[in-house]
Amino acid sequence: MSETSSIREPSIHEVFVKFNLSSSSEEPPRKEWSSLASLPVEDSPKMVLFKQGLYKPGSGEICAKYITLSDSSVLTHPYYNYPSVVDPGIMEALLKPGKYYGVNPRGVRAMCLALSFNSNVTRLDLTSNFLDDDSCYHLGQLLGENMALQELVLSGCRLNLSCNDLGMESALSFAEVLEVNNKITHLDLSWNKFSTIKGPNELLDKLSESKVLVELNMAWNGLKVTNVFTKLLNVPTLRILDLSNNRLSDTAAKFIANSLFKAKRLHTLDLSYNPLDPESALKILESLRKPNVKLSNLFMEQIVVDEEFFKVLNEILSLRFRKNTKVTHGEVLHNYTLSVPDLRIIVMKRFDYLTQKGKKNKLDIALYFLQLRKSVDIVQPREILRDLKIAGTPVEEDLVNQLTELFPGPPLDKGVKTIKLDGIIEMIKRLWPEKKLPPTPPPEPEPVVEKNDKEGKGKKK
């Protein structure tokens, strides 16, 4: 035997056997973890719509106060596209006129205090804000302190300047204000009650001293002023003057026509709906023949003109410097005379009809008067009524009285009216020249008595 085979391995005896006991603290394999099971995740309704292309989270119109996350988390928020808040129109609101906002007196006071130190604002529009006396006080203070403000619009504020009931006292107050600050360029005083001479005359007189007035609207006021327009048209900057729907007289039109050459920049004059006659309208139109009259728009709607006006208008528009001139006017009167019916003819034909309509009794009224004239030259109305009643053709008493008024004769005693037949005979010859009385037969000659010859012979002297 070899040496290796002769060596024996020692035997091992197990003294203690370890049992494989499981412990509750032991973790199962990672692949058996229940928390790692992939459960289906449900999307939110907005995410579902977003995946379908029916929802766009980055609309840009959502307000930031509804975002509950911090500014740092907005960048990664799946439903918001930062920045989502756009300009709500702050700049536009600052530049937009302050009309239709219900400004109260406190707001007007604050604005006036701020504008009193502002030299940039030239136009203040407070249309339809229903301002009261306190607001007017602050606006008056503003006009006295701010020399930069050129246009103040207070239409519909129930003070009021336009569409309100300003009268003589308001006009005088405006005249006093213009003595201090006459820097207004556009003034709308339409739809008021400046129908008196005092007040509007002073107001227009102060406005005529302005050096910056561009547009003046005095429509719908019932104006009756006249010579103040001579001064008003001297304003060097005046371009638009609206005097429509007033009560301007022909005298006012004369002053306007004679002063248009002074208005060097006036291009629009509205005189529509004023009680002017065709002669006044023609006089204003004639002023456009002068090249130094710069007027390009002359509105005289609903002012009646004659054919001479229409002829002159065509001549003026044919001038080289009047090619772009626009003139409006009302109806054109034609040279004709309205025919007035002759009541004498009507009454005589009425007599003829009433005396001829009867079936039994008829009377030729022409022959009746012709026959009556042969005996008398005047007749009383009651005699005509009596004769026609006897003839069986009675007429109304009013018709005979009308005949008395148309053909009056000399009154009799106690003022009894008569009818002169000569006028009736003349009218009969015009209406029925063929009607004449039958010729009167000549008188029959008296029979001649022949003397007896025998009797003559038997007598001797």
* pLDDT at residue 458, rounded to an integer: 53
Residue 273: is its pLDDT beyond 90? yes
Confidence of residue 155 (pLDDT cuts 50, 70, 90): confident
pLDDT > 70 fraction of the chain, expressed in percent and rounded:
76
Residue 57: is its pLDDT beyond 80? no
Confidence of residue 437 (pLDDT cuts 50, 70, 90): confident
* pLDDT at residue 27, rounded to an integer: 62
Confidence of residue 136 (pLDDT cuts 50, 70, 90): confident
* pLDDT at residue 461, rounded to an integer: 46
More confident residue, 54 or 93: 54
* pLDDT at residue 232, rounded to an integer: 94
Residue 35: is its pLDDT beyond 60? no
* pLDDT at residue 144, rounded to an integer: 82
* pLDDT at residue 452, rounded to an integer: 61
Rounded to the nearest integer, the mean pLDDT of the chain is 81
- Domain at 343-431, CATH from 1.10.10, 1.10.287, 1.10.238, 3.30.500: 1.10.238
* pLDDT at residue 4, rounded to an integer: 47
* Least confident segment among 133-137, 198-202, 374-378, 385-389: 133-137
Between the alpha carbon of residue 181 and those of residues 60, 131, 240, the distances in Å are: 49, 21, 21
- The pLDDT of 198-219, averaged and rounded, is 92
Q: Which CATH architecture has domain 160-333?
A: Alpha-Beta Horseshoe (3.80)
Domain ranges of the chain: 46-86, 160-333, 343-431
* Least confident segment among 121-130, 353-362, 417-426: 121-130
* Least confident segment among 67-71, 236-240, 386-390: 67-71
Confidence of residue 41 (pLDDT cuts 50, 70, 90): low
- The pLDDT of 302-307, averaged and rounded, is 92
Residue 17: is its pLDDT beyond 60? no
Confidence of residue 1 (pLDDT cuts 50, 70, 90): very low
* pLDDT at residue 272, rounded to an integer: 96
- The pLDDT of 92-116, averaged and rounded, is 76
* Least confident segment among 77-81, 135-139, 201-205, 210-214: 77-81
Residue 30: is its pLDDT beyond 80? no
